[in-house]
Amino acid sequence: MTSSNLELDYEFLPYLKVYKNGHVERLLGIDAIPPGIDSHIGVSSKDISNIVPNSEVYVRMYLPINCNNQKLPLVIYFHGGGFCMFTPSSSLYHNYLNTLVSESRVIAISVHYRRPPEHPVHVAYEDSWQVLQWVFAHCNGDGPEPWLNEHANFARVFLSGDSAGANIAHNMAMNAGSVDPELMVDILGVALIHPYFWGSDPIGSEGLYPDKKAGVDRMWSFVCPSNPNNDDPRVNPIAKGAPGLMSLGCRRVLICVAEKDILKDRGRAYYEALGRSGWMGMVEIHETQGEDHVFHLHDLDSQESKDLMKNLAHFFNVLAF
């Protein structure tokens, strides 16, 4: 590579560097674990590509090994990382989804969407929507993927994600509540873990953490340069003029926040707004004391992480909706 190709264009630290030749050097989440059988926790995984033609979009599927002919709840998961980092193959997410599937006895699909800065954020939403349509095409048991045909209970479909992935999950549920014609499958629930919501004006304790706030302030303008306003309804769903949450296309929502996370007040505001919106579902919130943003990904064995996992497993498996 010549010296001109190595010339830096700009940085978005601590996440990535962009060079003048267009090369993007990601600094986080660049490790990769292949799919396979984890006999220790009893989960098998595999990758499926060619879901969105001529793109890098793929999904990693997870299935408990000893599920026999059982139909299991289906969890469609969107990874976090500021929309621009990590993949389903990253160790943080592969290990987390393995554990989630083992503990919850679900079949899970972890979605890899195209990422900024190569692709603006609307492409991530579009890719995620196309993945949902591909998944739901299996609802009659005659789709191209046997695991979905044989093991997915399409009466119990959930969306989930952390941080930016939780933002995607919310936006997919909003799409599901407003599309015409409707999707072939109803989404039963959405589990939002430390969701990335924001806004132009600080709320709650956000102003007490100027360094953290400055970092979050610049995220949306980086991933969405065409509309860098932090009150874009995709990132601030309770902004003035945003579509009403009453159209959220699911029947139950679980919001998980962490005490030390600067995003916690947005998660709580979303919970309160959803509760008074006229939406006819059930919403609950869980706060982990003493922990920060996506703490559970970095230590799956801590008691706090185990408690969070138990809450999610209960949410995906409770029968009374």
Contact criterion met (CB below 8 Å) for 277 and 244: yes
Query: What percentage of the chain reaches a pLDDT higher than 90?
Result: 93
Q: In this structure, what are the phi and psi dihedrals at residue 288, rounded to the nearest 5 degrees? A: -95, 120
- Which range has the worst mean pLDDT, 63-72, 124-133, 160-169, 304-313? 63-72
Q: Could you tell me if residue 284 is left (phi over 0), alpha (psi between -120 and 50 degrees) or otherwise beta? A: beta
Return the residue matching tokens 């621009």. Answer: 84
Q: How many residues does the chain have?
A: 321
DSSP three-state, residue 304: helix
Confidence band for 3, pLDDT divided at 50, 70 and 90: very low
Helix (H) or strand (E) holding 248: none
Contact criterion met (CB below 8 Å) for 58 and 110: no
The distance from CA 66 to its chain's CA centroid, rounded to whole angstroms, is: 27
Alpha carbon dihedral 297, 298, 299, 305, in 10-degree steps, equals -30
Residues 75 and 5 in one domain: no
**In the predicted model, what is the mean pLDDT of the chain?**
95
Residues 41 and 26 in one domain: no
Instruction: Determine the average pLDDT of the residues in 69-86.
Output: 96
For residue 90, what are the domain limits?
A: 33-317
Residues 162 and 73 in one domain: yes
State the Cα–Cα distance between residues 272 and 57, nearest whole angstrom: 34
Residues 226 and 82 in one domain: yes
| Pairing, β 16-19 against β 24-26 | antiparallel
Residues 23 and 157 in one domain: no
| Domain count across the chain | 2
Residues 12 and 133 in one domain: no
Residues 18 and 156 in one domain: no
Instruction: Determine the average pLDDT of the residues in 138-162.
Output: 97
Q: Is the dihedral of CA 98, 100, 105, 110 positive or negative?
A: negative
Q: Examine the pLDDT at 88 and tell me if it is beyond 70.
A: yes
Residues 127 and 216 in one domain: yes
The two structure tokens encoding residue 262 = 């600067």
Name the pTM for this structure.
0.96
Q: Dump pLDDT digits (tens) for 111-121.
A: 999 999 999 99
Residues 107 and 17 in one domain: no
Q: Is 290 exposed, middle or buried (0-12, 13-18, 19+ CB in 10 A)?
A: exposed
Return the residue matching tokens 């010296």. Answer: 3
Q: What CATH number does residue 157 fall under?
A: 3.40.50.1820
The Cα angle at residue 310 between residues 103 and 70, in degrees rounded to 5: 40
> What's the maximum distance between 2 C-alpha atoms anywhere in the chain?
63
Q: Dump pLDDT digits (tens) for 194-238.
A: 999 999 999 999 999 999 999 999 999 999 999 999 999 999 999
Q: How far is CA 78 from CA 60, 170, 197, in A?
A: 11, 10, 15
First to last CA, the chain: 58
Question: Of 90, 104, 160, 163, which residue is the catalytic one?
Answer: 163
Active site residue 163: yes
- Quote the pLDDT of residue 102: 97
Residues 1 and 118 in one domain: no
Strands of the sheet containing 72-78, edge to edge, are: 37-38, 43-49, 58-64, 107-112, 72-78, 152-162, 189-193, 252-258, 282-288
The distance from CA 79 to its chain's CA centroid, rounded to whole angstroms, is: 4
DSSP 151: H
Residues 7 and 93 in one domain: no
Is the peptide bond preceding residue 117 cis, with omega within 30 degrees of 0? Answer: yes
State the Cα–Cα distance between residues 196 and 162, nearest whole angstrom: 8
